[in-house]
Amino acid sequence: MKRQILALGSLVSMLFALYFALVYAPTEGTMGTIQRIFYFHLPQAISSYVCAMFLGFGSLMYLVRRDLKWDRFAYCSAEMGVLFTGTTLITGMIWARPVWNTWWAGDARTNLQLILGLLFVSYLMLRAYLPEREKRARLSTVFGFLAALDVPINYYATKWWDTLHPRLEQGGLAPEMKTALWVSFLAFGILFSFLLTQRLAIAKVEDETEYVAQAVEV
């Protein structure tokens, strides 16, 4: 029932987000209509940060508790991280082409976001090549901690280096734009919760199936 409610909430809230981003929010004076992708780009970027922090937290909890449910939480977060890092980079490139006249800015924040995505992929690849459950859970935590470390560096990149991305304190949003952004944050938050909950449920079944298969082989 919980997953059904989250699924319905995701659909409804995303429809609201589309309306507020594409209709309610005023057109930005400098960049024009393309700026509207901001209402989806930023929540996706923040979602990728959350995935990295969840991955690091799950990795830490596994090392402390040695409970495979935390490893399951970690690798589900990593899979989500691949999704949201990828969509962040794609929407960023779509936005950058008409605004900066390039698909790839190559500045600190863009590169750090790419590194974050590669860390998620490396984490999952390492797990794919380690057949023993506890061993892959233990060794893959290295990439989990690196992904979590990327987040604060990525977040403050515009303060520490010269980048094409605006600094956190620069500029301001009109009240209607702020409303549209918060609606979009809410929609992506509900979507994130639904996807993670759904993936965790599937991962639990996968672990149970793997355990039964190993028991049968013995």
Output the pLDDT for position 159. 80
Domain assignments of the chain as residue spans, ordered by start = 2-26+37-169+178-217
Q: 72-122: per-residue pLDDT in tens?
A: 999 999 999 999 999 999 999 999 888 888 888 788 888 899 999 999 999
Output the pLDDT for position 170. 47
Output the pLDDT for position 166. 67
Total Cβ atoms within 10 A of residue 121: 16
Q: Please report how the helices 68-100 and 141-155 are oriented relative to each other, as an axis angle in degrees rounded to 10.
A: 40
Output the pLDDT for position 156. 84
- Say how many residues make up the chain: 218
- Specify the DSSP class assigned to residue 140: T
Output the pLDDT for position 71. 93
Instruction: Say how many CA atoms lie within 13 Å of 95 toward its Cβ.
Output: 18
Confidence of residue 145 (pLDDT cuts 50, 70, 90): very high
Confidence of residue 218 (pLDDT cuts 50, 70, 90): low
pTM over 0.85: yes
Degrees (nearest 5) of the Cα angle 211, 212, 215? 90
Cα 195 → chain centroid: 11
- The candidate with the shortest Cα–Cα distance to 38, out of 159, 190, 163, 173, is 173
Partnered with residue 32 across adjacent β-strands are: 28
Q: 44-80: per-residue pLDDT in tens?
A: 999 999 999 999 999 999 999 988 899 999 999 999 9
The pLDDT mean for the chain works out to 88
Output the pLDDT for position 21. 94
Confidence of residue 163 (pLDDT cuts 50, 70, 90): confident
Q: CA 188 to CA 177: how far, in whole Å?
A: 16
User: Taking 70 as the threshold, does the pLDDT of residue 136 lie above it?
Assistant: yes
Alpha-carbon distances of 97 from 4, 101, 186, rounded to whole Å: 38, 5, 28
